[in-house]
Amino acid sequence: MYPPGSRVFRQGEPGSTVLALISGRVKVLGGERDGGQLLITLRGAGDLIGEVAARRLSARTATVETIDTCTVRVLSGDRFNAFLSEHDGHSVLTDYLVTKLSQTVPYQVELVHFSPERKIARLLLEVVALADRAATNPDQVPFSQQDIAEALGLARSTVALHLQHLRKLGALRPGRRLEVSSLETLKTSAGV
């Protein structure tokens, strides 16, 4: 089990294990040469984490940090590869990886071309969609304004301005915490 804010994998480290995410959400971050990190994607319960590096026994291609408390199952890269061979799972893994890639690439294109408000709304929607609906408050977004700014490559002041507008529209509840009050209004702001 990993508490919120834990670094599960660090980009560049040897990839010797695969994690099956049983519960919780993680953010997958790509590192930049200047030390900054941008959000690549979010993952939730049912996803594999670290399968690319463990499959090839190579370096981690991204940093993974927990958003909430995460329960995982850990499998060594050797055991993971043996399991795939024993159960003829290589094609299933390939399909899984293609699906993940097909979700990640459009997400990155959207982040480049969308307005700041649309980027923020999409991120908030995705975080809420991955939340365990049985959680105490699944519509709460466990990100600070700074977290959102760093994840999306925006200025914190820009994030604050657009969050204020989303509150005014009724997409977010008033107050210091980020909590979705109207998914439909947020979807409209996100363009979905």
Mean pLDDT of the chain: 87
Q: What is the model's pLDDT at position 37?
A: 79
On the question of pLDDT at 141 being above 70, the answer is: yes
The beta-strand segments (E) located in 121-161 are 140-141
Separation of first and last alpha carbons in the chain = 34
pLDDT in tens, 50-69: 887 777 778 888 999 999 99
Please state, in angstroms and rounded to a whole number, the distance separating the CA atoms of residues 191 and 171: 13
pLDDT in tens, 76-127: 888 888 888 898 888 888 888 887 777 666 666 666 678 999 999 999 999 9
pTM over cut 0.85:
no
